[in-house]
Structure 1
Amino acid sequence: MFQLNHHTTKRSLACLLGTALLLFAAKPSLSYGQGTSFSSVSIGVQPKIVKIYGAGGIKGLEAYQSGFLISEQGHILTVWSYVLDTDYITAVLNDGRKFQAKLVGADPRLEIAVLQVETDRLDFFAPKAAIDLEAGDRVLAFSNLFGVATGDEPASVLHGIVSAKTPLDARRGAFKTTYRGPVLIVDAMTNNPGAAGGALTNREGKLVGILGKELRNALTNTWLNYAIPMSELNQAIDDILAGKTRPRSVDDSVKRPDHPHSLHKLGILLVPDLLTKTPPFVDRVRSNSAAAKKGLKADDLILFVNDRMAESCKTLKDELSLIDRIDSVHLIIQRGQELLELELKLADGT
């Protein structure tokens, strides 16, 4: 039976708003910005928006999200989420073409990821050309909210204003997120399934930021509609594109040490590796081990090892095999919604 709940209410409101926007967009004579119509702005942005499909599909875990092109070579900026926890990520372009996208890299600290599809000569946003906005500025939010568009249908567009520009870390404990930086709060209903990873632009269609993941205040049970400014992401995007977060284990030319680290030596037991990309969650930590002495705990998620992304149990094991046992191991872990850094080193003679 159909049950009316919070998401259903948001879905109905979004559909009504989407209908109103379509009617508005059908009138190109309406001025929107410096002599620019709403429809022409939307038409100019749509080719840059990407619909992304991957893992999920069970209750509460939608298997889709949004992204946008950031290079002519098919690089796509999106949010880092469970949707990308699969080897079969599908990216659908504005013209309906479908590609299997590969994960280039991610920064869970900023909750972003970069994908790539094998095509070129694409229309794209230049991240470093993004602009900054202040409270009161009008914005447009482009995304595939609710997964409505599956082929060459245009992405949904919401209109609103920037309500505030504020640091998200001021809400520590209220909002469960690893990101701790400035955000743009908008009055458009962007906090909907599938909208995360979409593009926030100004009224002329210039890139401003990326739409954040669904976020609810644990104290007031209210949802936050927000975007992360591109100025906070550009350095991380450059690092990802430069391969600085790419696992070294994918490079066969990297020399392996004679006496490498291992999970067993460090005292770490991961959850059973049953999936293609089983996330490296810690199942148990051996007492008096290097990991135990530094405070690693069961249920911790290992995100990075020596600044290289550990996207799966297999990747983590491979990365450790490239680190000499005499060297320390730097881990970035996620415990709940908190990111922690640990430096593990084996005792002499171990």
Structure 2
Amino acid sequence: MVADHQSSSPASPRPRFTIGYALPPGKAGSVIQPPLEALAAERGMRLVAVDASLPLADQGPFDLIIHKLFDRPWRAQLEAFSALHPSVPVVDAPAAVDRLLDRFTMLDVVPGLAAGLDFPLSVPAQVTVSDAAALAADDPSHGLRFPLIAKPLAVDGSAGSHDLCLVYRAEGLRGLHTPVVLQEFVNHGGVLFKVYVVGGRAVCVRRSSLPDVPAARLADPDADASVPFANISSRPALDKGEDSMPPAAFVDQVARGLRQALGLHLLNFDMFAATELDDGGRQRYFLVDINYFPGFAKMPGYETALTDFFAEMIQVGTGAASFEKLESVPCNGIDLE
């Protein structure tokens, strides 16, 4: 067992495996729930909260570390711990997560996936604007077509990082805080597919999204030039049956490609099907967002998926298994509100 090589108190009996978690309070409270702890206990695993202010080596022994903390002191903690216990998996490496903390670079890997997919997949045209003066220039949209989604560049967990808005014309760009990512809005029927990736498992759910923007809305000078996402009403995703969902094999291809390209085990991504087909009459898909260690409590059956993942990662740490196979879990039509 991996933990046998770490110091521990012989007077403290424990389950066979110990999983240390270091998560923001809100994340820990939503994910580490009694049903998850009970399932883990049935598999001989105990979930233990890590105190990020204390040395990890003094809180073990651990067989697996999961986390969503990225400040420098915590990174130093992980580096020191991994140097002492290189066989203990750390999910995930902060260096791998860094790409997802920038809304522009997080999508850089998507074009590289396209060649091996069953359907066209791309990222809407986008630019990063770092200078507020550029938003008041003659071409503030930088050649992009309205409407645009304006997103803060940094994904730092603050309330401001979630302040997205839909911009209908140039006036709506003035006054935006920079740096900001401007991304073309693509009509997609008000339906979004959120895909959760837990190690080798991909689970897709359908949820409501922003409604399509008609051309008349863009031409209306009396309408608001921009509207915060929070003020845009989204309609419930219609239940159109399995035919309205992306094929499970395609979801698996994208999930596997992202997991391998990013070097991450716990993430989700947002994808939608464009209203218009491509020139060959095929359905077009767009990937617009990737998140590390998302709100798994909204994922159907997350307790079982995470428990299986913990067990598999511990096997990887002991050298008893590897993470090459992606298990297919068919998409379903559950709406996440």
Q: What TM-score bracket applies, with the shorter chain setting the length?
A: under 0.3
Could you tell me the TM-score, scaled by structure 1's length?
0.22
Structure with greater helix percent? 2
Structure with greater strand percent? 1
